[in-house]
């Protein structure tokens, strides 16, 4: 199986690179300046040249707040680019896994979101990702859209690394306690994407369509921060007290959904894989970031 990953520097792409190609497969990466989702015309030639069996779109415009003033750019990268990529895959006969977000929902549901729940994004970033989903699903490509949430890893810009950095100089941090979700380790997301991709290449019709993937369990951002500091302290790393605040006390340019929980039962049914609990995944990530637990 020839796998082509769009993007190289994001959290998912880096974890795919660390995992390496599955047995009997090759793994290639394409990123700027060679190709650019903001220049959709570059994508068809790339897919035709590389002739992959599977394409994984790990690139996106992810500046949620900045998207409020750069809505056109966000739409170009997150909707028009993926649409062009999907059409190129359809023409070349390649399977496609496209990564999306919990932000396509408004967060008003009481429980975890199913793939069949209606979408209603509350910010420009979410609208661009919703348009990207539609473009991929309507392209005719053999495709899976994987929605995920609260992604972190040992590299890049993410909540875990931000909390650890701030704890180096602060004794207390105010963290939002009225938004709830399921933290997702990028390493587990990478494995999930590869598992779905393999089934698409094998022409398993059940692997087409929309899927949700995140680690098991749930937390508020404040819960997440407390767990980070508890596990970091156990490893001799930085720690801080968490002061629980409301969304209203931490205003941002872009609205955030209060509920980002994603139901992953469909993913488990199709792949046979059950996402590990988020606390377990966080510990594995902190083993890399901070070191093993102190003895």
Catalytic machinery residues? 125
Residue 279 · residue 218 · CB < 8 Å: no
Residue 265: helix, strand or coil by DSSP?
helix
Q: How far apart are CA 166 and CA 276, in angstroms?
A: 27
Q: Which of 97, 91, 46 is nearest to 200 (CA)?
A: 97
22's tokens: 């599955």
List the one residue out of 221, 248, 242 whose CA is nearest residue 170. Answer: 242
Distance CA 182, CA 107 (A): 13
Judged by DSSP in three states, 44 sits in: helix
| CA dist list (Å): 116 to 101, 209, 212, 255 | 14, 10, 10, 23
Contacts of 231-236 with C-beta under 8 Å, sequence gap 24+, read: 231/282, 231/283, 231/286, 231/290, 232/164, 232/167, 232/286, 232/290, 234/293, 234/294, 235/286, 235/287, 235/290, 235/291, 235/292, 235/293, 235/294, 236/290, 236/291, 236/294
Contact (Cβ atoms closer than 8 angstroms) between residue 151 and residue 110: no
Q: Which residues contact 169 (CB under 8 A, 6 or more apart)?
A: none
236: nearest Cα among 168, 290, 277, 184: 290
């Amino acid at each position: 199986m020839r796998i082509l990953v769009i993007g190289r520097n994001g959290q998912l792409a880096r974890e795919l690179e660390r995992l390496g190609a599955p047995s009997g497969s090759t793994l290639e990466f394409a990123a700027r300046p060679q190709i650019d989702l903001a220049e959709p015309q570059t994508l068809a030639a790339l897919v035709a040249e590389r002739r992959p069996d599977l394409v994984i779109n790990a690139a996106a415009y992810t500046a949620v707040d900045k998207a409020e003033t750069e809505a056109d750019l966000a739409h170009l990268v997150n909707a028009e680019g993926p649409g062009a990529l999907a059409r190129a895959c359809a023409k070349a006969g390649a399977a496609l896994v496209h990564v999306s977000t919990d932000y396509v929902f408004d967060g008003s549901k009481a429980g975890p979101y199913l793939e069949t729940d209606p979408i209603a994004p509350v910010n420009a970033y979410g609208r661009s990702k919703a348009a990207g989903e539609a473009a991929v699903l309507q392209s005719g490509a053999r495709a899976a859209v994987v929605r995920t949430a609260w992604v972190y890893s040992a590299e890049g810009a993410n909540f875990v690394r931000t909390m650890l950095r701030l704890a180096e100089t602060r004794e207390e941090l105010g963290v939002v306690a009225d938004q709830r979700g399921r933290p997702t380790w990028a390493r587990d997301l990478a494995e999930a994407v590869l598992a779905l991709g393999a089934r698409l290449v094998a022409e398993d019709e059940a692997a087409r369509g929309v899927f949700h993937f995140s680690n098991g369990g749930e937390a508020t951002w404040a819960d997440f921060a407390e767990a980070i500091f508890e596990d970091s302290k156990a490893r001799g790393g930085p720690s801080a007290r968490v002061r629980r605040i409301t969304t209203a006390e931490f205003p941002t340019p872009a609205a955030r959904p209060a509920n980002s929980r994603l139901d992953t039962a469909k993913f488990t049914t199709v792949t046979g894989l059950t996402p590990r609990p988020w606390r377990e995944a966080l510990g594995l990530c902190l083993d890399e970031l901070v070191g093993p637990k102190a003895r």
